[in-house]
Amino acid sequence: MSWLDYFRGRRQEQPASATAAKERLQIVLAHERIGRTREDFLPKLQQELIAVVARYVAIDPGKVNVNLDRGGDMSTLAIEIELPAPAAMRVAANAR
Amino acid sequence: MAQVVVVTSGKGGVGKTTSSAAFATGLAQRGKKTVVIDFDVGLRNLDLIMGVERRVVFDIVNVISGEARLNQALIRDKRVDTLSILPASQTRDKDALTKEGVQKIIEELAKDFDYILCDSPAGIEKGALLALYFADQAIVVTNPEVSSVRDSDRILGVLQSRSKRAEEKREPVKEHLLVTRFDPARVERGEMLKLEDIQEILSIPLLGVIPESESVLKASNTGTPVIMDAESMAGQAYTDAVARFLGEEKPHRFIEAEKKGIFKRLFGGRAA
């Protein structure tokens, strides 16, 4: 930084981005190292869960959302299955 | 017994070829009979960095396909007489490399050389896998930057599972970390990953730290391995790293920010 920069207003301290880099790397690598030895189970998990739910409720396989948030201390797996409206369920039940 | 050393990184552009050229030259300067092989078939560049691009007649693919003998393809360096270069092919693609072909070449080179350096292409495709397959040791080139560290971790996983040593369940490939393009001033300002952080994340022994330096570009412009520029910080850092590789104790240099004098503070200035 040369003295001209003082006039350009570059004096204010920025938060240290290197710390963020380290934390992000530690989290992503912790997960990737586990994944190296185990195959990706998510697609299969999703299929099996849907199959179980479908045994009890008529669901539209297109209306299923699976979200994974990998954190340092805790990861969350959110599976959202949209159930059909009561009317549609009755139709489905009568059809059986 | 010849040692096969792969210079690898996963990510491109981190300094594999620069480091391969510097290490090969450094080992040869120390009297070790050294050959450096370019595995980047289709995108060869080691010849340019080594300054032998006008002397390439045959390449590794010609040797594998039987169109040329190994001796005809090897280029003897004119600066260091214990150094040879085996260039990659520029016209073929990586499928021209076969495991059997590479094995034959390495076995033949092992009769005449102490060190066989394999300059890996980027990625984890065929060329990179073959470059590391026969390795006894690996130099993992990493920049202090998230994508490079992640890719280095990935390539370490590949070394530990898909190298010949791993497949035969022998003693694992000996891993060395070489951090390149390191800028102590930016680390001090908290803008760049610290050395300890990179080491902690990758947890392999640190072989050397090459500072970001203008001399690397100058060296590649003229086809002179940067280790031959004894004035430059990068050249000296490579010389130290080679010494450590050969088992010498050398303190790490160029890892602390330079204390700038009043003149540099006023007018700025860049590392040589």
The predicted-structure confidence for B233-266, as pLDDT tens digits, reads as follows 999 999 999 999 999 999 999 999 877 666 666 6
CB-based contact B150 A25, cutoff 8 Å: yes
With a cut of 70, say whether residue B99 has pLDDT above it.
yes
- Please state, for a pLDDT cut of 70, what percent of chain A lies above it: 67
ipTM: 0.82
Contact B227, B235 (CB under 8 A): yes
Instruction: Decide if A34 touches B, using CB distance below 8 A.
Output: no
The shortest C-alpha distance from A48 to chain B (Å) reads 30
Average pLDDT over residues A41-64: 81
Contact of B265 with chain A, judged by CB distance below 8 Å, is answered with yes
Percent of chain A's residues with pLDDT above 90: 11
Size of interface A-B (CB pairs under 8 A): 48
- Look at residues B91, B22, B21 and name the one whose alpha carbon lies nearest to residue B239: B22
The model's pLDDT over A17-42, given as tens digits with 9 standing for 90+, comes to 999 999 999 988 988 887 776 556 77
| pLDDT of A95 strictly over 70 | no
Q: Beta strands B115-119 and B34-38: pairing type?
A: parallel
In angstroms, rounded to a whole number, what is the distance separating the alpha carbons of residues B40 and B97? Answer: 10
Q: Given this model, what pLDDT does residue A30 score?
A: 85
B187 annotated among ligand-binding-site residues: no
- The answer to whether B131 faces chain A, any CB pair under 8 Å, is no
What are the beta bridge partners of residue A69? A76
Contact list in A for residue B201 (CB cut-off 8 A) is 22, 25-26, 29
B37-63 exposure pattern, b = at least 16 Cβ within 10 A, e = fewer: bbbbbbebbbbbbbbbbeebebbbbbb
> In the structure encoding, which two tokens stand for residue B138, read together?
């690996």
Residue B237 CA to residue B251 CA, distance in Å, equals 10
Chain B contacts of A16, Cβ < 8 Å? Answer: 189-191
User: Tens digits of per-residue pLDDT, B13-51?
Assistant: 999 999 999 999 999 999 999 999 999 999 999 999 999
**pTM of whole model > 0.90?**
no
A38-51: b (≥16 Cβ within 10 Å) or e: eeeeeeeebeeebe
* CA gyration radius, chain A: 24
pLDDT of B77? 97
Does A22 sit within 8 Å of B193, measured CB to CB?
Answer: yes
Arithmetic mean of pLDDT, B220-239: 97
Record the tokens describing residue B135, joined without a space.
């390795």
**Is pLDDT above 90 for B122?**
yes
Q: Is B109 on the interface with A (CB under 8 A)?
A: no
> Distance (Å, rounded) from C-alpha B159 to C-alpha B8?
10
DSSP code of A62?
G
User: Is B197–A17 a contact, with Cβ atoms under 8 angstroms apart?
Assistant: no
Cα B240 from Cα B262, distance rounded (Å): 30
pLDDT value of residue B258: 77
